[in-house]
Amino acid sequence: MSLTGYRHSHAAFGPQIAGLGYSETSKFYAIKNKNEAAAYLNHPLLGQRLIEISGALLELEDNHATRIFGSPDDRKLKSSMTLFVALPGADPVFAQVLAKYFNGIQDRVTLNLLQTHL
CATH number at residue 28: 1.25.40.380
Residues of the chain with pLDDT under 50: 1-4, 6-11
pLDDT of residue 100: 98
Q: What is the share, in percent, of the chain residues with pLDDT greater than 70?
A: 89
Quote the pLDDT of residue 3.
45
Taking the alpha carbons of 24, 13, 101, 106 in that order, is the dihedral positive or negative? positive
Number of domains in the chain: 1
CB 21 within 8 A of CB 30: yes
Domain assignment present for 15 = no
Q: Answer whether residue 6 is part of any domain.
A: no
pLDDT number for residue 103: 98
Helix H, strand E, coil C: the string for 7-41 is CCCCCCCCCCECCCCCCHHHHHHCECCHHHHHHHH
Which pLDDT does position 23 carry in this prediction?
A: 82
pLDDT value at residue 21 = 80
Residue 41 lies in domain? 24-116
pLDDT of residue 42: 96
Residue 104 lies in a domain: yes
Beta bridge partners of 31: 17
The pLDDT of residue 4 is 47
The whole-number pLDDT of residue 12 equals 59
Mean pLDDT of the chain: 88
Does a structural domain hold residue 54? yes
In a domain, 80, yes or no: yes
pLDDT of residue 6: 45
